[in-house]
Chains A and B, each alone.
Chain A
Amino acid sequence: MSAVPQALADVKVLEFGGYAAGPHIGKVLANYGARSIHVESRQRPDGFRIQYPPFKDDRPGYNRSGCFAFFNDSKYSVTVDLKKREGIALAHRMAQWCDLIIENMRPGVMERLGLGFAALAKLNPRLVMLSTCNMGQTGPRADQPGFGSQLSALAGLCGLTGVPDGPPMLLYGPYIDYIASVTGASAAMAAVIRSRRSGKGALIDLSQYESGLMFIGAALHDFFATGRLAERCGNDDPDAVPHGAYQCSEREWVALSCWSQDEFGALAQLIGHPDLANDARFATVPSRRANTEALDALISAWTAGRSAEAAAESLQAAGIAAYPVVTMAGLFRDPQLFARRQFRVRRHPEMGDHAYCFPGFDLAEAPGDIIGPAPCVGADNEFVFRDLIGLSQDEYESYRRCGVFD
């Protein structure tokens, strides 16, 4: 737990839902001090707890999922059975307490539960609710469920990945869900700022599909303006040649690119062919593109004898953009990520010491942190309901006897 006062120390967040797109928003806000409460039930815990590996020591369990842990650190977990009338009453109490509700259920589910924005805003007029789902809350396919791994394909991202004559490529996991979570977090923060300034709440309808399209906005603009159809092109770039990944020793790869004639001259010098810069085949970007195969062979011959780290160091020293293609294991060894403390180990009650991922930004005066490990299911019921929500002992016991926490 950080001792530094955090930016969002007085922000209170409730999450209804699970998996990636909703909970990742609450995690990021929690990293800057928000009290984020993940609402589950013991009958239906977050699907990330049980449906996907990895599990600690390959033994599945509600509190052994790395998939859940990665997106739920620094939060509290409570269990509320929303199928019970008393559970809904308790959710209403929580809604009166919080600033922000994040929900990623299918459209209409929150309303059917009595937890729709209109109902909750009557209890808490300054409430902000962010609803995120595949298609958004409206439109002819609003009710279509789906996984982020497949939605990434609908949003064009997979079709734009791979080599021109090959199939689209998978992007790892529910790639587009994280786009929605990082765009959703800024929308949520904007609404919370307005709420604090004006007392006015807001309902945010965030379509994960539309959020993903923001990341290919230029390709869409180009299509509207010119009719040009963006296509997957391996690692090519319209303005830079070479621009790609080259195999190094030990099955490693290095990415590099040249954006000017000077940079290409430096590369030619570095790889032991200083004459290339004056060779008509490589004198301009179009000529280099026309002779890519020959150029790539020369570069690959140089990289093949080096580790990716050594190649990247030499290239950067020569003024050329380069970086090893960092593997998942390599992330934990990368000196730059290490210096940023990108992965921070916290002790989990069942999983022991393991690493959590910090956001890609930080505040100099009020730094964020991994406040604590991911919570075990329902671990914080008593603290949250008694100390934060303010239930009396009698009220708490009444809910417990009704089975609301089961």
Chain B
Amino acid sequence: MLLSDVLVIDATDRLGWLAGRLLADLGADVIKVEPRGSDRTSSQWRAFNVNKRVLELEPGGAADREHLDPLIQTADICLLTPGSPALSARFDPAVLRQDYPRLVVVAIAPFGREGPRSRWKGTDLEIMAAGGAMALAGEPDGMPVRVSEPQSYGWAGAQAAIGALIALYRRDATGHGDLVEVSGQACVVTALSHAPAFVDLNGIEPTRAGAFITGRSIKGARYRVFWPCRDGYINFIFYGGVAGRRTNAQLVAWMRERGAELGVLADIDWKTWDPTKADQAEVDAVEAPVGRFFSRIAKREFLIEAHRREMLGYPASTVADIASDPQLEARGFFQTVAGSRERFCGSYAVIDGARPALRHAPGEPVALDPPRRRAGAQG
């Protein structure tokens, strides 16, 4: 395991759970500190706290500190979400930095710990709004939307894990810990791809595109992205370029094999057809027979044929589709913990040809005796 000699104390709330999960997947021993009696039954808690062990704590309790302090003494990384009411008194970043100078302290906050809005309250909705992601999702003239499953916690947790390991790398070289400060809002900006560059370079404001894609035709045509199919939606776009030409030609070949009505598609030479030069009437004519064809196709059928024909495009999956995807099955992505039938996303990276097994069921208690001192731990 890559991080098998690394001990992580995870005292985060929902904003930071993924950070510890990712480090655990890489082999770190992650001990999740939980207020005594906290609810650990939700899928949110269990999915992102599997592979960790749990230490129950009553903040400030002398008996708890007997166990906690030696644990922090041996830890390499401490993940925090300052302001989280249940644990913040014991896990103050400044105190930890002072008491444990070799410790990497990672403080994750919705808007960061400094700046005029650092004390603002924010949950996934507000963080996604603040980071620009909602401005880009939804119907063009409609309400901005977030992804219905919280994403900002993922963006913050994943970048917190990077920061923790960069600081750990430096600690190995210098002997000094560090404070890694993480802003959920700033982490979400990563999700915007290059959209901000349009503003900076050319003063153009990208906005919500809905279920269509715009900006590809010099005549202002919009192309459909999501197509109703027999059991949901398919994501398919008429692209240009080598891959697009092959995709378009293969789609027409597939339609022809099925005896589908081709309309204008029958006469198009895909080697010369250029989506950037099509006007809306042409796009509508091209898309009409495809829409009729896709309406009779099932998502899994599209997935199989697109792969077989080397076409671009994927179905818009539900969690049920994903849960039964043969690709994920073949790679052993979904895992259980030994002795349980509860299923989770497995460790996210395959290392040297093997996916690390999930080692700890959610909520598995840590033994209260302090762990043995580890290589590279506090000196």
Complex contact B158–A186 (CB within 8 A): yes
What distance in Å separates the Cβ of B200 from its nearest Cβ neighbour in chain A?
4
Complex contact B343–A204 (CB within 8 A): no
CB of A167 within 8 Å of the partner chain: yes
Complex contact B169–A170 (CB within 8 A): no
A319 to B122, CA, bound (A): 10
What distance in Å separates the Cβ of B270 from its nearest Cβ neighbour in chain A?
17
CB of A158 within 8 Å of the partner chain: yes
Residue pairs across A and B with Cβ atoms less than 8 A apart, 9 shown, are A67-B197, A149-B237, A182-B159, A193-B165, A207-B331, A245-B145, A360-B185, A362-B180, A363-B178
Complex contact A203–B351 (CB within 8 A): yes
CB of B87 within 8 Å of the partner chain: no
Contacts of B215 in A (CB 8 A): 53
* Residues of chain B having any CB pair with chain A under 8 Å: 2-3, 5, 18, 21-23, 26-27, 42-44, 46-48, 111-112, 114-118, 120-123, 125-139, 143-149, 151, 154-156, 158-170, 172-173, 176, 178-202, 204-213, 215, 225-226, 228, 232-233, 235-237, 241, 243, 303, 306-307, 310, 312-323, 326-328, 330-331, 333-334, 342-345, 348-353, 375-376
CB of A383 within 8 Å of the partner chain: no
Complex contact B168–A150 (CB within 8 A): no
Complex contact B320–A340 (CB within 8 A): no
A340 and B112 contact, Cβ closer than 8 Å, known pairs A150-B314, A329-B205, A360-B188: yes
CB of A141 within 8 Å of the partner chain: yes
A95 to B246, CA, bound (A): 35
Complex contact A202–B351 (CB within 8 A): yes
Main secondary structure of the interface of A (DSSP, over half): mixed
Contacts of A224 in B (CB 8 A): 323, 334, 342-344
* Interface 9-mer from A86-94, A250-258, A273-281, A395-403: A250-258
Q: B19's closest neighbor in chain A, by CB?
A: A186
Name the one of A24, A57, A342 contacting B189, with C-beta atoms under 8 angstroms: A342
Complex contact B134–A255 (CB within 8 A): yes
CB of A268 within 8 Å of the partner chain: no
Name the one of B212, B236, B327, B376 contacting A139, with C-beta atoms under 8 angstroms: B327
A153 and B317 contact, Cβ closer than 8 Å, known pairs A58-B202, A204-B349, A221-B344: yes
Name the one of B170, B183, B184, B213 contacting A363, with C-beta atoms under 8 angstroms: B170
Complex contact A140–B330 (CB within 8 A): yes
> Which of A203, A359, A366 has the most chain B CB atoms closer than 10 A to its own CB?
A359
Complex contact A326–B135 (CB within 8 A): yes
CB of A327 within 8 Å of the partner chain: yes
Complex contact A331–B196 (CB within 8 A): yes
> Which of A136, A183, A222, A361 has the most chain B CB atoms closer than 10 A to its own CB?
A361
Complex contact A70–B194 (CB within 8 A): yes
Complex contact B132–A326 (CB within 8 A): yes
What are the 3 closest A-B residue pairs judged by CB atoms, nearest first? A173-B193, A360-B187, A66-B197
Name the one of A177, A218, A255 contacting B48, with C-beta atoms under 8 angstroms: A218
CB of A339 within 8 Å of the partner chain: yes
CB of A192 within 8 Å of the partner chain: yes
CB proximity to B under 8 Å, residues A303-362: 316, 319-332, 334-337, 339-340, 342-343, 351, 354-355, 357-362
Name the one of A7, A232, A234, A256 contacting B166, with C-beta atoms under 8 angstroms: A7
Contacts of A254 in B (CB 8 A): 129
Name the one of B126, B191, B225, B334 contacting A175, with C-beta atoms under 8 angstroms: B191
CB proximity to B under 8 Å, residues A169-191: 169-175, 177-179, 181-187, 189-191
CB of A194 within 8 Å of the partner chain: yes
CB of A77 within 8 Å of the partner chain: no
A339 and B114 contact, Cβ closer than 8 Å, known pairs A54-B197, A173-B192: yes
